[in-house]
Amino acid sequence: DIVNSDVTEYEFCARRGVCDFTSGLCSCFGSHSGHDCTSIINLMTAANADPVLAGTATGTDYTGTVLELHSEKAASSDFEFMTCKTDGSDTRMKITGTGFVESSGLNITTGGATITDGGLIVKSTSSSSDTVLIHNSATSIDLNKNILKIKATADETSGANDFNILEAVVGDSLTINDKTIFRVTSKPSTMIMNGGLTVHAGGLHVISGSTTIASRLEVSDGGATIVATSSSMDTVVIHNEATSIDANKSILKVKSTADETLGLNNFNIFETLVGDAASASSKTVFRVTSEPSTDVLTGGLTIHSGGERIQAGGLTIDAGGINAISGNVVIQTGNLNVDLGQMTVGGTLTSTGLITGTSGLIISGAVSTVAALNSAEITASGLASLESGAMISGAITTTAALSASGLIRGTSGIVVSGGVSTFSAVDITTIRSSSLATLEAGAVISGAITTTAALSASGLVKATNGLIISGGVTTTTAIDSTSITASGLALFEAGAVVS
């Protein structure tokens, strides 16, 4: 047989790979490559500490590329420029055909990192480690330097095209189920959208601008201080935008765990000041104490509408008086004490305790008290009912009746358009009444008694300047007077002594 040694034998993929008969492409083995697996890849190995691949650019004027990886194929994610593996198969880092670098970690020891465009996305599937940790290991940091600084060249403080500088989101931000916890916007403003704000220590200090919290603010320790320098805006506004609020719920509630109602260590629950609180020139307008009591120290109390109801503890006003323009003043328990200034009530004044006013009372409605009434003077257009009597250093004037079960004492006289009725004595300089004067325990008057109606008394009637009575005079005891003039019947069951 004749053997031809120059015949070329063709094998699929040169017997150095597997042919895909559908695509006609070879998948090469080992160190072979190329479309037919006929090219040999140079495999480099090194032992110990020798470099596997080392390239050196010589010359100090070198300006070329030390290592260049080139692909004739267009950028694509289906191939890689470089893959770094450990243990033969564990990929630690790779550069994809699109230029993305995927790494199991990134440690920049010096020089920092600058990303010119495209942004930075850090993804993690671990639930036991921090996703991003920024750590400055310097033992001291210069003043006003930042561990994290976020800066935008765009300035949208006008709000025309507001954007977020920083936003914290939980949930998948690509779905409608995500929730924004807080965001810092370019207005500028910091907004708490969900979960509220809890300050465990150090307090909250807002120097200027506004703080909007959509949920709640909780300061565990350190207190909250709000400082404003603007004279044209409210310092604090608390606004509940609900169209209806449940019964007994509060827009503002101030609560103290400490209970000092015994007064051993009295403190202020609420206090309002004008002036610099750090100087002696500051003035407390009013305060609510733990006694408990509500004290008005400066400026008095003016009620324009609705009146006032005090269920317990009474009311003490040190200066400025009380002025209730409309509505009633009702004190269910405790005393009413106005140390300085007049008390003016557009409606009725009702108290179960002592009423004390050093500069007088002016009442458009009735005056009712089951305890004593102590005032410089009293003027009332309604009924004056005093179950425990009254001691007035000035005049008593009422356009309605005056009724008292206790002593009535007035050094400047009583002028009553209605009747006068008392179960105890009347001790006064003068008395003038246009209605019936009924004195069951008698009267001692240092001045005149004048009434256009009848005078009826079961006790002694004594007047040093005489009696002038348009109606009848009836007394079951004696009358002692300088003179007596009556246009009606004068009936004295126990006689009369008239000088």
Give whichever of 218-232, 312-326, 376-390 has the largest mean pLDDT: 218-232
The per-residue pLDDT for 442 is 66
Residue type, 244: S
Cα distances (Å, whole numbers) of residue 40 to 13, 16, 31, 45: 13, 10, 6, 15
Cα distances (Å, whole numbers) of residue 242 to 239, 250, 251, 273, 294: 9, 12, 11, 31, 30
Res. 278: pLDDT tops 70: no
Residue 420's nearest CA partner among 410, 335, 486 is 410
CA 313 – CA 292 distance, rounded (Å): 7
Res. 37: pLDDT tops 80: yes
Residue 256, SS3? coil
The per-residue pLDDT for 263 is 59
Q: Does 188 sit behind a cis peptide bond, omega within 30 degrees of 0 on the bond before it?
A: yes
Inter-residue contact 407 to 424 (CB < 8 Å) = yes
Q: pLDDT-derived band of residue 243, with 50, 70 and 90 as boundaries?
A: very high
Residue 488, SS3? coil
The per-residue pLDDT for 378 is 74
Give whichever of 124-128, 257-261, 382-386 has the largest mean pLDDT: 124-128
Residue 431's nearest CA partner among 414, 452, 455, 453 is 414
Residue 291's nearest CA partner among 325, 330, 264 is 264
Q: pLDDT-derived band of residue 18, with 50, 70 and 90 as boundaries?
A: very high
Q: What is the pLDDT of residues 460-481, one digit of tens each?
A: 777 777 777 777 777 777 777 7
Q: What is the pLDDT of residues 54-98, one digit of tens each?
A: 889 998 999 999 999 888 889 999 999 998 888 877 888 999 999
Inter-residue contact 324 to 306 (CB < 8 Å) = no
Q: What is the mean pLDDT of residues 264-279?
A: 80
Res. 28: pLDDT tops 80: yes
Res. 133: pLDDT tops 90: no
Q: pTM for this structure?
A: 0.49
